[in-house]
């Protein structure tokens, strides 16, 4: 008797309650959700039994869906709850407690990677180069200079997708630095990280678990074709999400070129080390800047990066020979294998 197809529940976040959120056609037909659309199409082409569930603020509904459906695996594309990214790890906690295998990183790693300062401390302990930095809390904001070379960049500590980052984030003296840090703390209601700005190439390294082997993908690079060489290249919020702004400055990403063998080996080995040290799982993207003399400096780690056809992770996978459908299959297989390994370890204990 043929085995029934794998039952996959894909969960994703909603900006508001939507009545059609359990109908796969809602995602297939909506081009404004490219990751969900492309992953859904790939899962269907793989021949799996697909179910979806959108999450806004109804935890009982998600729990009920998991209990009634009894999926073999959950494809986790849920990054927000009630519109807030701070709950991303909490969604994964619920999946962890359900006992159902799920894709991507576990709760601890998702929470940890939102703290850009702590991840840099861990990387530094692993002898990976990080920019000089200092963190300031919003609740008891008190600014103090520290040993660092200007220019500096001021960022919200726990925001993603370059939220709160603009050209004004680059500062050239302590007065401007304190003013910007206070603005981030009070206006954005966020803890603050101030770090040395690395004027150089920005490179992204994808990491993936394939058949039980953690490996890196070919590097991708951020380009500003219309920017003068002496101007700071900043991946601001507009640089990532405003199409008109991107066109004006010639912003794009492509496969990184002209990296030496030594640089490639360092980027690969150190990205793997960060992936393991931060407890990442399944797939992730590690962001780097290269100094003027070509030395990689760690910026941040991104668990569960965007997975549409047109995102850097999928393009990096394709350049290494992994077609999109195979990529989605690998991510699902890794979650199933991780669950089996965890279950075996618990039984042995």
Task: Say what the pLDDT of residue 2 is.
Answer: 57
**What is the reported pLDDT for 346?**
47
pLDDT at 301: 97
Residue 318 near residue 310, CB atoms below 8 Å: no
Say which CATH class 134-196 falls into. Answer: alpha beta
Q: What is the pLDDT of residues 97-110, one digit of tens each?
A: 999 999 999 999 99
Q: In which residue ranges of the chain is pLDDT below 70?
A: 1-2, 161, 237, 241, 340-349
List pLDDT tens digits, range 77-88: 999 999 888 899
Whole-number Å distance between alpha carbons of 6 and 4: 7
Contact, 287 vs 300, CB < 8 A?
Answer: yes
pLDDT at 230: 75
B/e letters for 198-231, b = 16+ CB within 10 Å, e = fewer, are bbbbbbbbbbbbbeeebebbbbbbbbbeeeeeee
Kindly report the pTM of this predicted structure: 0.92
Percent share of the chain, pLDDT over 70 = 95
Per-residue model confidence as pLDDT tens digits over 279-316: 999 999 999 999 999 999 999 999 999 999 999 999 99
Q: Where are the domains of the chain?
A: 7-102, 134-196, 202-338
Instruction: Tell which CATH architecture fits domain 202-338.
Output: 2-Layer Sandwich (3.30)
């Amino acid at each position: 008797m043929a085995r029934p197809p794998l039952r996959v529940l894909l969960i994703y976040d909603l900006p508001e309650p939507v009545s059609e959120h359990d109908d796969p056609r809602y995602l297939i037909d909506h081009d404004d959700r490219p990751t969900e659309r492309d992953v859904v199409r790939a899962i269907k082409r793989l021949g799996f039994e697909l179910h979806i569930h959108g999450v806004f603020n109804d935890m009982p509904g998600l729990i009920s869906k998991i209990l009634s459906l009894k999926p073999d695996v959950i494809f986790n594309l849920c990054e927000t709850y009630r519109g807030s990214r701070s709950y991303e790890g909490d969604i994964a906690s619920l999946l962890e407690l359900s006992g159902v295998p799920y894709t991507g990183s576990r709760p601890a790693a998702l929470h940890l990677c939102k703290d850009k300062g702590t991840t840099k401390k861990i990387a530094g302990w692993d002898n990976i180069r990080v920019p000089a930095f200092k963190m300031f809390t919003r609740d008891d904001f008190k600014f103090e200079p520290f040993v660092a070379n200007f220019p500096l960049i001021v960022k919200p500590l726990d925001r993603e997708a370059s939220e709160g980052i603009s050209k004004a984030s680059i500062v050239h003296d302590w007065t401007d630095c304190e003013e910007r840090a206070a603005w981030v703390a009070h206006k954005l209601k966020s803890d603050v990280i101030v770090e040395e700005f690395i004027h150089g190439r920005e490179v992204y390294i994808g990491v993936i678990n394939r058949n039980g082997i953690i490996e890196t993908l070919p590097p991708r690079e951020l380009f500003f074709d219309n920017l003068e060489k002496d101007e700071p290249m900043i991946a601001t919020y507009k640089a990532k999400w405003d199409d008109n702004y991107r066109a004006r400055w010639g912003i794009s990403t492509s496969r990184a070129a002209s990296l030496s063998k030594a640089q490639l080996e360092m980027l690969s080995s150190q990205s793997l080390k960060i992936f393991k040290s931060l407890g990442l799982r399944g797939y992730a993207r590690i962001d780097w800047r290269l100094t003027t003399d070509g030395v990689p400096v760690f910026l941040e780690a991104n668990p569960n990066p965007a997975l549409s056809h047109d995102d850097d992770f999928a393009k990096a996978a394709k350049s290494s020979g992994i077609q999109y459908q195979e990529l989605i299959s690998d991510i699902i297989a890794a979650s199933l294998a991780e669950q089996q390994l965890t279950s075996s370890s618990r039984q042995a204990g």
